[in-house]
Every structure is written in C-alpha cells, then in structure tokens.
Amino acid sequence: MGYYPTSLTGLIENFSKLPGIGFKTAERLAMHVLKMPYNEAAYFSESIMDVKKKIGFCSECFSLSDNEICSICANPLRHNSILCVTEQPADMIVIEKAGAFKGLYHILCGVLSPMDGVTPSDIKIKELVARIDKDKITEVIIATNTNAEGESTADYIANILKSKNIKISRIASGIPVGGELKYIDQVTLKRAMEARYAV
Amino acid sequence: MGYYPTSLTGLIENFSKLPGIGFKTAERLAMHVLKMPYNEAAYFSESIMDVKKKIGFCSECFSLSDNEICSICANPLRHNSILCVTEQPADMIVIEKAGAFKGLYHILCGVLSPMDGVTPSDIKIKELVARIDKDKITEVIIATNTNAEGESTADYIANILKSKNIKISRIASGIPVGGELKYIDQVTLKRAMEARYAV
C-alpha cells in the first residue's frame, strides 16, 4: 500500500471494502477516479453523501424514499386499494421492474425468524393491519420469499388478516419461465404439479 | 432507473460509470453504501475528493504525489545517482512492488507516438536530461514497455544520452518466470535466445 500517495491509498482502501471488489480492482477504480474530470468526481463524492443524508423510509409503505411519502404511494394512478407485501425494498424494486403490479406496496423490513429473535413486533405487521383499516384495502398479495422464513411469515400474516373481509393471496411458486425441469428441486416441482392449470 | 429514489439513482449512475462495473453491480454497490455506517460513507466520499484535490506530480520525478516532492525522491536511503525511466506512474508502482530497484525514478508521462502526434517535447525527456546533469546521475535504466512505442522511445532516449558519460541499460526481455515456451510469441522467444546466458 505504501507505494501510493496517502490520499490514493485511502481511496483504494475504501473501494476494496465494497462487496466483490478485490485489491487489484480497487487500484484500477482509484486510478480511474484520479483521471476523471473534477466535477464528475465531485458528483460521485456528493452522491454518496446524498444517499446517506436523504434516503429514509416512506411513512406509508416503508420503502426507500427521499421524501416523507415515496413516489409510488404519492402516485394517484396506482390502484390504492391493493397492497403487495414484500420483505425488503429490494424485493419491491424487482416487482416494479417486472411491471406486473399496479397497486401499492407494504415493506415488512424483515421476516419472522425465531432463530434470529425476529418476532412479529420487530417487523411492520401492525402497521400493515392499521393501514388495511385506514386506507380501505380490499386485496393483499403476500410476496415474501419462498424460503422457510418467508413462508412462515406469509402464513402468519394470512392468519392475522383472516378476520378482515379482504382478498388475500400468495404469489405462485412453480417452474421459472425458461427453466429446465431437470434442474428444478423436488419441492418446487411438487408445488408446480399441485398448482397445475387446465389448458 | 425510476424505481429508486433520486439520490440512489444518482449513486447507481456514478458507480456504473466506473470501468468494469455494470448496472447490476452498481445497484448492489449503491445498496451497500446505503447500509454502511454514516462515518464510513463520509470517509469514502471524502477520499474521492482528497485524491482529486491533493494528488499532483512530484516536481522531481513526475510520479503521483500528495506533496511537492514524492516520498521516494524525499527518501535519503534511496540510491540517488541511479534513475529508472518509466512511461507512467503505474509502471513505477509495479517496479516498486517487485522490490527490484532501490534508486530513483523518472516518469515520462507518456510515450513517443508519431501516429497520435506525441513528439519528444510532449513527454518529460528534456526534464530527464536536465536532471541527469543537475543531480549527477551515473546510471539510467530505461523501463518503457516492450511494444513498438515503448521500444522506439527507449531507442530515442538512449540515443540522446549517448553523449553523456553514464551507464545506460534497458530492462531485459525474455520468457516470463513460470511461463511455458509453447505460449510465448516468436519475437520474445528470439530475444530470449539472443540474450541467453551461460550456466
């Protein structure tokens, strides 16, 4: 490390702390920053602090937002009586990218996991229940992950919402589109069989 | 891009401008920054501007430096009568890492390339000549690259320095250590034959 000027060593160190960036790549990225136009580097530097200073959680759905209310919750064109429940903001973004949903979201900010000490009060379940009453929600789609924690969280939420007069569904499991049967695990295949549909 | 809050979009954009970083990786890095402790992100942000504000060229050898004189030129333990001439600061760093040289460096900050309009006055050749006289240099090792531009720059410098009463050498070409003969190009092999040594 001593081969570089101190400031360059600092930048290399910072780059190599990022996930998937090794020392050699960090050296290359730091040299690239060195050669960047000054204002481009200033924009890069500022955007890091911007993210840290501005991003918080939407007070309605708990997704990431620069503002009190996120752009999806604030959008009057979204169907505001349907909620899609996900574990994390990243899950919401994947669904948005697929363009498959036009309602609003509710981010749990976690998943029930007794092993890690995460109980229903640690994630945004009571906020979900309050929102269903307040905003006259008629349908809830539970889109937690299909692993053990995600499934049990989905069951827990479905159970809690049973008493309300709303539609509750879980996104379908099955063979991924373009997937080959020989690479699919048995549990998925069993579910795909059970959920077969007439053609 | 519209799926993310504006500030996060900005950071993703900045990451994806870096060499070898695609959009997916940029998304992952930006999410990592979002989860970083505040002061770690502040250090990262500052280190980018530090590099832009502090790094300049050493006034002696033209390597990268935070100060007027770089740490190698300022080190009294280096042999100050031997110069190693390289094209770029990065070449100097590779030689330093190998630990094979204890003298001082002179960075040309370029290579002669008539095709790209780079002439002797565009690179630090007259500074090299002046330094040889001023600092009583007794030996110059030319460590430019072994491609066409590097070779002709080496020839040019050797020619200019011929009149001075100093040792001039060129780092050896040959088979890389650990290399296999069948993967070596013909020109390198020919040189390695010519430069054979008795054992």
Kindly state the greatest CA–CA separation across chain B.
68
Tell how strand B64-65 and strand B56-57 pair up.
antiparallel
Which pLDDT value is given to residue A15?
97
Length of chain A in residues, anyone?
A: 199
Mean pLDDT lowest among B38-42, B117-121, B190-194:
B190-194
Domains located in chain A, CATH noted: 6-54 (1.10.8.420), 70-173 (3.40.1360.10)
Res B1 pLDDT > 60: no
| Chain B interface test: which of A28, A29, A46, A47 (most B C-beta within 10 Å) | A47
Instruction: For chain A, state the CA radius of gyration.
Output: 22
Distance of alpha carbon A169 from the chain centroid: 19
Which pLDDT value is given to residue A127?
95
Which pLDDT value is given to residue A175?
83
Which pLDDT value is given to residue B180?
83
Whether A18 sits inside 8 A of B29 (CB atoms) is yes
| Tokens 């640690």 -> residue | A122
- Average pLDDT rounded to a whole number, residues B14-41: 94
Which pLDDT value is given to residue B146?
87
Long-range interactions of A39-44: CB distance < 8 A, separation 24+:
A40/B17, A41/B48, A41/B49, A41/B51, A41/B52, A42/B49, A42/B52, A43/B10, A43/B14, A44/B14, A44/B17, A44/B48
Instruction: For chain B, state the CA radius of gyration.
Output: 22
Res B174 pLDDT > 90: no
Q: In this structure, what token pair is assigned to residue B184?
A: 């070596």
| Chain B interface test: which of A40, A48, A59 (most B C-beta within 10 Å) | A48
Distance CA A154, CA A173 (A): 13
Res B98 pLDDT > 70: yes
Whether A52 sits inside 8 A of B71 (CB atoms) is no
Render each residue's pLDDT in chain A as its tens digit; 199 residues: 468 999 999 999 999 999 999 999 999 999 999 999 999 999 999 999 999 999 999 999 999 999 999 999 999 999 999 999 999 998 999 899 888 899 999 999 999 998 999 999 999 999 999 999 999 999 999 999 988 899 999 999 999 999 999 999 998 888 888 878 888 888 888 888 888 877 7
| Tokens 């630090």 -> residue | B124
Q: Residue B139: beta bridge partners?
A: B82, B167
Contacts of B194 (CB under 8 A, 6+ apart): none
Which pLDDT value is given to residue B160?
94
Distance CA A70, CA A63 (A): 7
Q: Which residues of A66-174 form beta strands (DSSP E)? A: 82-86, 104-107, 139-142, 167-170
DSSP for A167-198 reads EEEEPPPSPPTT--GGGS-HHHHHHHHHT---
Write the residue in A3, A11, A25 that is nearest to B97 by C-beta. Answer: A3
Please, what is the average pLDDT of chain B? 91
pTM over 0.80: no
* Sheet of A104-107, strands arranged across: A104-107, A82-86, A139-142, A167-170
Per-residue pLDDT tens for B44-79?
A: 999 999 999 999 999 999 999 999 999 999 999 999
Confidence tier at B117 by pLDDT (50, 70, 90): very high
A38: chain B residues, CB-CB within 8 Å = 52
Q: Residue B141: beta bridge partners?
A: B84, B169
Res B198 pLDDT > 80: no
Which pLDDT value is given to residue A81?
94
Residue B116: DSSP 8-state: G
Distance CA B1, CA A137 (A): 28
A54: chain B residues, CB-CB within 8 Å = 5, 7
Residue B88: DSSP 8-state: S
B52: chain A residues, CB-CB within 8 Å = 33-34, 36, 38, 41-42
